[in-house]
Amino acid sequence: PMYYFLANLSILDLGSISVIVPKSMANSLLNTRTISYAGCVSQVFLVFLCCATDLAFLTIMAYDRYIAICKPLHYEIIMNRRACIQMAACAWVVGAMYSAMHTGNTFSLPFCHSNTINQFFCEIPQLLRLSCFGTYHRELAALAFSVCLGLGCFAFIVVSYVQIFTTVWSIPLEQGRQKAFSTCIPHLIVVSLLLSTAGIAYTKPISDSPSPLDLLAAVLYSVVPPLMNPVMYSM
């Protein structure tokens, strides 16, 4: 199951990078700063799809590690092939629905201001800045819901790892503890990196002028985690 979930995570990482980086590189090489309206809608939908589904899989993988370490004798019964496929399918469906909600909320708004965003890809906080004043409360509520959802997933992961580490410390053999930690620590680092950088990007105030901090935060949550996942899990 762990490798099955990692395969899905790899597809999401590849998709996340492919949605943002090629267009940004093309704009840089061709010295252009444009994206079509349809391209912007697609970019928002796919970015949210990849990020939301990524978090769903990271949460599922925490549960997988919990069952493997805390209930090893029941592992094959609980994490059977059918259960893994159902979990993966639910993660993709929930990610698609969540992404559709944000994309629909954002692009149903009337845009009254400039069509210039201070970012290297279509990012919802920057798009909200272009909408008419007082019309984006619905999307702000959706973003607040996202924060609560992200914190809920993080809390589930933390509780799982508290149980895992409690069980690991009771393992008498040093080699057994080392093996358990080697599968858990990279996962915890990846989760922390994704949630902390996304939280900074979406909760900080939106500046009216281009800011290096905005670009740095966007790179940290949209590009760095997909690049770091293969490194972490390879280690």
Average pLDDT on 110-138 reads 78
Q: Are 75 and 68 in contact (CB under 8 A)?
A: yes
Q: What is the pLDDT of residue 149?
A: 84
List phi, psi (to 5°) of 183.
-90, -15
* % pLDDT > 90, the chain: 23
Q: Which amino acid is at 36?
A: S
Residue 100 — pLDDT band, cuts 50, 70, 90? Answer: very high
The pLDDT of 172-185, averaged and rounded, is: 72
Range of weakest confidence among 10-14, 37-41, 152-156, 192-196: 192-196
Q: What is the pTM of this model?
A: 0.84
Residue 213 burial (C-beta neighbours within 10 Å; 0-12, 13-18, 19+): exposed
CATH code that applies to domain 2-234 = 1.20.1070.10
CA distance 232 to 235: 5
Burial of 219 (0-12, 13-18, 19+ CB in 10 A): middle
